[in-house]
Amino acid sequence: MPHIYAMGDQNTILTGLIGGGRLDRELALALPEYSRARLQALIAGGALCVDGQIVTDGSSKKYADRPFTLTLPPARPDRAAPQDIDIPIVYEDDHLLVVNKPAGLVVHPSAGHADGTLVNALLHHCKGSLSGIGGVERPGIVHRIDKDTSGLLVVAKTDAAHEGLAKLFATHDIDRRYFAIVKNIPAPPAGVIRTQIGRAPHDRKKMAVLPEGKGRHAVTHFKMEEALDKCALVSCRLETGRTHQVRVHMAHIGHPLIGDPVYANRQKTYKIGPNQSIFARQALHAAKLGFIHPITGEKLSFSSNLPDDMQELLIQLRV
DSSP string, 230-254: SEEEEEEEESS--TTHHHHHHHHTT
Nearest of 190, 244, 235 to residue 215 by alpha carbon: 244
| Cα distance between residue 190 and residue 177, in whole Å | 14
CB 187 within 8 A of CB 268: no
Query: Cis bond leading into 188, ω under 30°?
Result: yes
Number of Cβ within a 10 Å radius of residue 128: 11
Find the angle CA(255)-CA(56)-CA(254) to the nearest 5 degrees.
Answer: 5
Find the angle CA(233)-CA(235)-CA(237) to the nearest 5 degrees.
Answer: 160
Alpha helices in 158-201 (DSSP H): 159-170
Tell me the CA distances in angstroms from 283 to 137, 179, 312, one per residue in order. 28, 8, 11
Is 86 catalytic? The answer is no
DSSP string, 165-215: HHHHHHTT--EEEEEEEEES--SSSEEEEEEEEEEETTEEEEEEEE-TTSS
Beta bridge partners of 110: 113
Phi/psi for 36 (5° steps) reads: -65, -35
CB 63 within 8 A of CB 50: yes
Among the options 24, 146, 260, 309, which is catalytic? Answer: 146
Any idea which residues carry the catalytic annotation?
A: 146
